[in-house]
Structure 1
Amino acid sequence: MQIKQKTLDIKVLVIPQFVLSWLFFCGFFICFVPVIIYVANEIEKTLPDVANLFHHRPAQPLRIYAASEELLAEYGEERREIVSIREFPRALKNAIISIEDAKFYHHRGVDYSGVFRAVVRNIASQENSQGASTITMQVARNMFLSKEKSYIRKIAEIMLAFKIEALFSKDQILEIYVNEIFLGERSYGFAAAASTYFNKSLSELSISESAVLAGLPKAPSAFNPVANYQRAMIRKNYILERMKELNYLNQEEFLQAISEEVKITKRANTRDSSVQFAVEEARKMIYEHYGESTYKEGFDVELTIDTRLQKAAHTELRDGLMRLQKIRGWEGVEGRFNVEEKVLDKKNIEKFLINFPDSGVLKAAVITEVLPNGIVKAMFRNGEVITLFSESGAYSVLELTKSSISRKRRIEKGTVVRVKQHAQNKWVLSQKPHMEGAMIAMDMQSGNILAMTGGFDFSLNNFNHVTQAQRQTGSTFKPFVYGAAIEKGFFPGFIVDDTRRVVKPAQRGSASWAPRNYANNYEGDITIRRAFIRSKNVATVNVMEAAGEDYVRNKALSFGFIPDFHPPGLPLALGAGLTSPMHLTQAFSVFGNNGAMVSPILIKSIRQRNGDLLYKAPDVSVRHQVISERNAFIVDSLLRDVVRSGTARQALRLGREDVAGKTGTSNRSKDLWFSGYAGGIAATTWIGYDDPKSLGAVTGGTIALPVWIKFMEQALSGRPEIQVTVPPEVSLIGGDYIYTEFLEKRTCSNSMSNYVRSPYSCDIK
């Protein structure tokens, strides 16, 4: 039996697609929008006040300039130059907008289509890399948020962008952006980047160069034109195409820009080696006053330094130290490359010489070959191979390669040596000086420091010997002894005994003291003037003893010498005390300044980059009278005679009548000095080991004085001679000067000490 089934006719309900979409959207809206609102409200509570941007002051570096307004140095983590948007070049502005935010002037902080595309791409790639940040959003992120990539941060970025757009105009937002964005090489903002990569101001940039800079914000390292030139050029071309698409460039401008060869010209290193001691001294002075703000407030500091004289001081001091080192002889190689384990090639030598930096004209090199015929070859860190020319004397390569030479001193394959280029372009052996030095020059009227070189090489030893070194003054202290004695009535024409004697007999616990003259040369009875210009030690001790030890010391201390460094006693007469080259220069200037002391000035002015003047040094330094004009006049006459016929006769080559100064050599030639003045410039040269020891059979006159002369040859160019007149209280009698009132007192031989006497008879009228 067949059973007949009944078929049911069921009609399927068909819902239109738009209805389904609408239902899905409503469900999504109902479920997720409250969540989004809640999250947004929570984020809102943590957002900073964007109104703070009105008061934002970007960190700007400290810049130090010479008196000629030449930039000497820049300090600060962020290199930045603030530029008003009104001064911003149109081409660069268009390039930035073309690549970073083409709709910048049309949206209200957020490009919704860009955000949507970024979200879709991030979901598809399961990453969080697509930013879609407008310029306003970048400002929000750079100024207020971290670099973390998350949706929460992106929401915060969008919310801040809305707030910024509500408070600031588009140009204000763009101005913040172009001055704050990091563009590599410590450069923040496009003005700094233009200087860093092209050594140009913004107004000097070409369209093509502008496109290079506009390509940096996305990835400053990847598109750095120094490190990745080809990649930077590809991005530059893409930006130029975008500018053309957006009608910022016409066809002719585009073709010209795309065909231009972009040359990267990095800004020169502002740390000129010749000025580093002066610059560092100024930096420390500013930091003591302003602390960490020194590197953030955009201070422009003008120094009194004359760059021409600074370079001269730097060069002459270095040359003098190298000459002295050559006199001292060859002291051995600096290091040894292990030729048994490594190949002497460019890569290995470059790596090895990292610990042997070049120093000016002195280049480090590794000996690569010593041939039987006497030819010696060496390689620089850049792979260049040179042949050493053998000079005669201490630096004879032929002598120093002999097997009989001790290994410490022997030049052989793998040894590290210093070489410099000879006048005939030949490379010769040299040596880094083991001793140090200082050179300081000051304008005697204004107190302006014109040059300051505190050592051979700041990068090797940054101890500033001009200001920090306290060294025995030797005979440069004698002017202060004789000046005090003159005040006591012991004038240059008086007679002093220059016979060697025991000044201090031996006592229990101490040896006797019998000062000696240089080269054991004694002259018996001589005038005080001759004793001074010939730098006689015994006679000087006798003069100090006659005038009174305490009296002379107290008079000397009035020049500002530190009491603890100048203990009482007759050895003080011979420069047993300690002082710095800076202070000795200041003290010497008193004799050429009518008895007045001026305070040295290094910093001329401090301004903020907005132009506000924070400090200005006086046009003429603070002066105070240390000694009388007549006392200064007579001591000045003694110092001039040192040059005319004394220990500084070499200085006659300057061809001037106003050159005055004093040589100085401390005990066992541990310190070599010359301090003096001419043409209104006071200057001092000092040379010695940091750990005091003998420099050998040399004196201040043979080593320090030539450095001083060569510097002054350049410093005195164009300066008139200083004329002096005899003060009214000074009389000339017997061919020398005396205070007029002493004639009335009839100072004569029976009123003097055992070792100093007047040459005038007691019935003098």
Structure 2
Amino acid sequence: MKLLKRFLQFAFVCTLLGVLTLISLYYYVKSDIPSVEVLKDVQLQTPMQVFTRDGKLINQFGEKRRIPVRLQDVPEPMRNAFLATEDNRFYDHFGIDPIGIVRSALVLITTGQKKQGASTLTMQLARNFFLTREKAYIRKVKEIFIALHIEQLLTKDEIFELYLNKIELGNRAFGIGAAAQVYYGRTLSELTLPEMAMIAGLPKAPSALNPIRNPERAKSRRNVVLGRMLAEKYITQAEYNAATQAPITAKFHGAEIELYAPYISEMVRAYMVERYGTDKAYNSGMRVYTSVESEVQLAAQHALVDNLHAYDMRHGFRGPEAIYWNAQSESPLSHGGIVSRLRKVNEIGSLKAAVVLSITEQSAEVLLKSGEQITLTWPGLSWARQYISETRQSLPPKTTADILAPGMQVFVRKQDNLWMLSQLPQASSALVSLDPNDGRVKAIVGGYSFELSQYNRATQAKRQVGSNIKPFIYSSALEQGYTLATIINDAPINHWDKSVGVAWRPKNSPEVYNGPIRIRRALAQSKNVVSVRLIKGVGINTAADHLLKFGFQDADINRSESLALGSAALTPIEMARGMATFANGGHLIEPYFIDKITDSFGTELGSAVPLIVCDEQQLEEQPERCAPQIISEQNAFLIADALHSAIWGGGSWKHKTGWSGTGWRGQWLKRRDLAGKTGTTNDSVDTWFTGFNRNVLTTVWVGFDDASKSLGRAAYNANLGKNQLVGAEAGAISAQPAWINFMREALKDEPLAPIEPPPGLISTRIDLKTGLLSRKNDHTSRFEYFEQGTAPTKYVLDTDSSTPFDNSAPLPTHEELF
């Protein structure tokens, strides 16, 4: 009894000393222990992801790769792998594992080395959130106290879920969701047992045990994990045997980008940083769903790129990028030597770097950067006459030797399953497509290559708009009492400008003058002199003020007669927004490119609330949701209908009175619901095409980034046969083909959506020559729309169709007419 008493006294003293030691340690480190209350509402550093409207990943931004997962979504073998390897008594202890601590202490006493840390999952979570990996006793003490606190705040499942999402697993992957994607390019549910075991073995040393850098060490560690799972009876012997024999299949997988659309993703990044700040934007795991649809956006990118290559090919081949050897005097490089040099060449977009190995009369053998050898046949070479200048090309080549020689490093691209000689386009372009009913950006492309230039020409490049301004000028004229039947003289102007002492002689392009002409046809055929006469008749300031209604900035509107010809400078998205007014019945919409924002688990944080085109009931119930009406519905329809004639023309070809509008190539789409307008500035520096139906409006701009450089002209290439675009570059030649190719895809499955005439209009038959009422029902007349009260009241005389004016429209002065 005496011995027992002494033992109990000794035990009591030791316990007391232990408690006192723990209390002393607690107060010693108390000031350094962080509050773990944040774990109740933890925000893991998760990258921001950007998606299309239909859920395709466009891009992600952030330093750490993390894909948060719920514990219930983690496969059971993955959970068991971590428990068996890291802390098999996790669900039984209170944050620290006494058995593990004793085992670690024995190892330390017997070896003198800290080989085992005795860290539970809770302690590892404490270290990952609040401490470092430094092997120090004081850190271990802090780790224990923090772990005890965590166990009081959170459930075991909450701790385990945080651990699995927080743990570092190498290659910038944090958490098991990101590791599955980085190493195997799959989701957790798609992983095999050996792959799960591989990931579960990484926390011990993410770099040293990395299966990409050290596959053998990683395999050994994986088998240790499988052994622990077998020992704990999580897997059978047969499963263990099969898993340990599985090969190492891990390789690096970048973010699973499903649609590369860098211009829209950069717009999102800039917006999110401005709104939320850099840290929250990049690390809070927000998912941003843009307004663009993947197929429509991809069609826009292809249309723009293909159109720039088509322009580039019209103007000739500028020669090789480099010459690796002179075929006349030097020995060719080996295939290995060629590939080695090609690896240093930056490939842009669809362009592939290649070196010419040999040529025949009308073909060439080339070696690609990948080591693949391909043949360029004559259809892929015959375009390549020599570039002389933007306005001159050499005679068409007759043989391959006129174009290429062995040793030349060039670019090639595949188009319609044909390998073609190519080159990096020097011209630039932008495309914006909107839903005119609410401003949703359906597609947007800011240039040929974001890698070459992050400058977004769709939103940042203010360029002169040329004749794309005319619908707005004509809209102003309609507000002042003009009609689509009003006759204006299409004749040369010779106006003396006292301020500069020279005559201003605006000209039509082409220089064709029709004399007295109806406004509908003048707009459809983009008659410059008629536009000038209209702005003079309306008044420059009146017209300019009218343009400001469409959201344009006063600083961009040149208040002079040149405004009638497009001297205003606008961005493509500003042009699209303004032109949408004619498609939607006179409303000014606000373009938007973000549909909604969610957190990493899909909870919605915000969504777009766009201004919409409202009917009378909506306007009464929710006026704050309605886009403002800036011009009358009748005015908008009349301009849209005149622009329909820009594509479909008028008159009678049978009776030799037929005429085409400047956008006649839009007929290739075989849709009667389309309207559009070309635009070309002086010397073909800027070219535009804007076209639309009721639901889709698209603007395309083409030009050089250097605003002093002309797009030039292209001569006929006898090698290419029919359907070439030749002559001076213009909106119909440079920009409209991209619009056509895009709209073909954007409208592929869409029903016709014509712009219907609104109430307040009348339709009456007029004489085509005079604009007066007509009783005839033949090729000399047509039905025309008028706002009520503006239709002519006189009939043309059957014997005299020479009177060019009606008595309801403002009469041009003698100077304006002649």
TM-score normalized by structure 1?
Answer: 0.85
> 1:98-137 alignment to 2 at 5 Å?
98-111=84-97, 114-115=100-101, 130-137=116-123
Aligned residue number for residue 417 of structure 1: 410
Counterpart residue type for residue 104 of structure 1: F
Aligned residue number for residue 329 of structure 1: 316
Deviation at 1:442, TM superposition (A): 1.2
Aligned residue number for residue 250 of structure 1: 236
Counterpart residue type for residue 814 of structure 2: N
1:570 has 2:574 as partner: no
Bigger drift between 54-63 and 121-130 goes to 121-130
Assess, with a 3 A threshold, how the Cα gap between structure 1 residues 495 and 115 changes in structure 2: closer, same or farther: same
Assess, with a 3 A threshold, how the Cα gap between structure 1 residues 355 and 90 changes in structure 2: closer, same or farther: same
Deviation at 1:34, TM superposition (A): 9.5
Bigger drift between 464-473 and 154-163 goes to 154-163
Aligned residue number for residue 372 of structure 2: 384
- For residues 160-197 of structure 1, give each alpha carbon's deviation from its aligned partner in whole angstroms, at most 9, with x where no partner exists: 33443455443333222111101123322112222333
In 1, are the aligned partners of 2:58 and 2:259 still within 8 Å (CA)?
Answer: no
Aligned residue number for residue 739 of structure 1: 787
| C-alpha separation in 2, matches of 1:755 and 1:235 | 93
Aligned residue number for residue 671 of structure 2: 656
- For residues 73-92 of structure 1, give each alpha carbon's deviation from its aligned partner in whole angstroms, at most 9, with x where no partner exists: 22222232333334432211
Deviation at 1:657, TM superposition (A): 1.7
**Structure 1 unaligned blocks of 5 or more:** 1-24, 759-765
SS of 2:429's equivalent? strand
1:294 has 2:342 as partner: no
Deviation at 1:658, TM superposition (A): 1.4
Aligned residue number for residue 713 of structure 1: 744
Deviation at 1:415, TM superposition (A): 4.5
Deviation at 1:694, TM superposition (A): 0.4
1:644 has 2:637 as partner: no
Deviation at 1:71, TM superposition (A): 2.4
Assess, with a 3 A threshold, how the Cα gap between structure 1 residues 49 and 483 changes in structure 2: closer, same or farther: closer
User: 1:364 pairs with 353, 369, 381, which one?
Assistant: 353
| C-alpha separation in 2, matches of 1:262 and 1:571 | 70
> 1:275-354 alignment to 2 at 5 Å?
275-292=261-278, 293-335=280-322, 344=333, 352-353=341-342
Aligned residue number for residue 754 of structure 1: 814
1:178 has 2:164 as partner: yes
User: 1:479 pairs with 471, 491, 498, which one?
Assistant: 471
> 1:608-623 alignment to 2 at 5 Å?
608-618=599-609, 621=612, 622-623=626-627
Counterpart residue type for residue 417 of structure 1: V
Bigger drift between 471-480 and 125-134 goes to 125-134
> 1:411-490 alignment to 2 at 5 Å?
415-421=408-414, 423=416, 425=418, 427-490=419-482
Deviation at 1:294, TM superposition (A): 1.2
- For residues 48-84 of structure 1, give each alpha carbon's deviation from its aligned partner in whole angstroms, at most 9, with x where no partner exists: 2334422322222212222212222222222323333
Counterpart residue type for residue 739 of structure 1: E
SS of 1:183's equivalent? coil
| C-alpha separation in 2, matches of 1:360 and 1:182 | 34
**Structure 2 unaligned blocks of 5 or more:** 1-10, 613-625, 650-660, 714-728, 767-772, 774-781, 794-805
- For residues 490-546 of structure 1, give each alpha carbon's deviation from its aligned partner in whole angstroms, at most 9, with x where no partner exists: 2222222222222243655x6432112113222332222222222111221112111
Assess, with a 3 A threshold, how the Cα gap between structure 1 residues 504 and 296 changes in structure 2: closer, same or farther: farther
Bigger drift between 368-377 and 602-611 goes to 368-377
| C-alpha separation in 1, matches of 2:286 and 2:20 | 52
| C-alpha separation in 2, matches of 1:611 and 1:647 | 48
Bigger drift between 563-572 and 226-235 goes to 226-235
In 1, are the aligned partners of 2:40 and 2:153 still within 8 Å (CA)?
Answer: no
Bigger drift between 52-61 and 724-733 goes to 724-733
> 1:672-711 alignment to 2 at 5 Å?
672-692=687-707, 693-697=709-713, 698-711=729-742
SS of 2:444's equivalent? strand
Deviation at 1:149, TM superposition (A): 3.1
- For residues 647-697 of structure 1, give each alpha carbon's deviation from its aligned partner in whole angstroms, at most 9, with x where no partner exists: 111111222221101011111111111101025111111111111210012
User: 1:539 pairs with 506, 522, 530, which one?
Assistant: 530
Assess, with a 3 A threshold, how the Cα gap between structure 1 residues 99 and 346 changes in structure 2: closer, same or farther: farther
Bigger drift between 587-596 and 222-231 goes to 222-231
| C-alpha separation in 2, matches of 1:124 and 1:691 | 77
SS of 1:714's equivalent? helix
| C-alpha separation in 2, matches of 1:180 and 1:346 | 47
SS of 1:466's equivalent? helix
Assess, with a 3 A threshold, how the Cα gap between structure 1 residues 565 and 349 changes in structure 2: closer, same or farther: farther
1:669 has 2:684 as partner: yes
Aligned residue number for residue 634 of structure 2: 630
User: 2:518 pairs with 521, 527, 530, which one?
Assistant: 527
In 1, are the aligned partners of 2:691 and 2:699 still within 8 Å (CA)?
Answer: yes
Deviation at 1:475, TM superposition (A): 0.7
User: 2:590 pairs with 599, 602, 610, which one?
Assistant: 599
SS of 2:266's equivalent? helix
SS of 1:77's equivalent? coil
Counterpart residue type for residue 380 of structure 1: L
In 2, are the aligned partners of 1:333 and 1:410 still within 8 Å (CA)?
Answer: no
| C-alpha separation in 1, matches of 2:274 and 2:425 | 33
Assess, with a 3 A threshold, how the Cα gap between structure 1 residues 121 and 376 changes in structure 2: closer, same or farther: farther
SS of 1:433's equivalent? coil
Deviation at 1:727, TM superposition (A): 3.5
SS of 1:452's equivalent? strand
In 2, are the aligned partners of 1:542 and 1:755 still within 8 Å (CA)?
Answer: no
Assess, with a 3 A threshold, how the Cα gap between structure 1 residues 84 and 545 changes in structure 2: closer, same or farther: same
Deviation at 1:109, TM superposition (A): 3.7
Aligned residue number for residue 395 of structure 1: 384
SS of 2:672's equivalent? coil
Which one has a bigger Cα radius of gyration? 1
What percentage of residue pairs aligned between the two structures are identical?
Answer: 33
Counterpart residue type for residue 91 of structure 1: P
Q: How big is the alpha-carbon RMSD for the aligned residues of Structure 1 and Structure 2?
A: 3.7
SS of 1:520's equivalent? coil
1:45 has 2:31 as partner: yes
Assess, with a 3 A threshold, how the Cα gap between structure 1 residues 150 and 757 changes in structure 2: closer, same or farther: same
Assess, with a 3 A threshold, how the Cα gap between structure 1 residues 743 and 170 changes in structure 2: closer, same or farther: closer
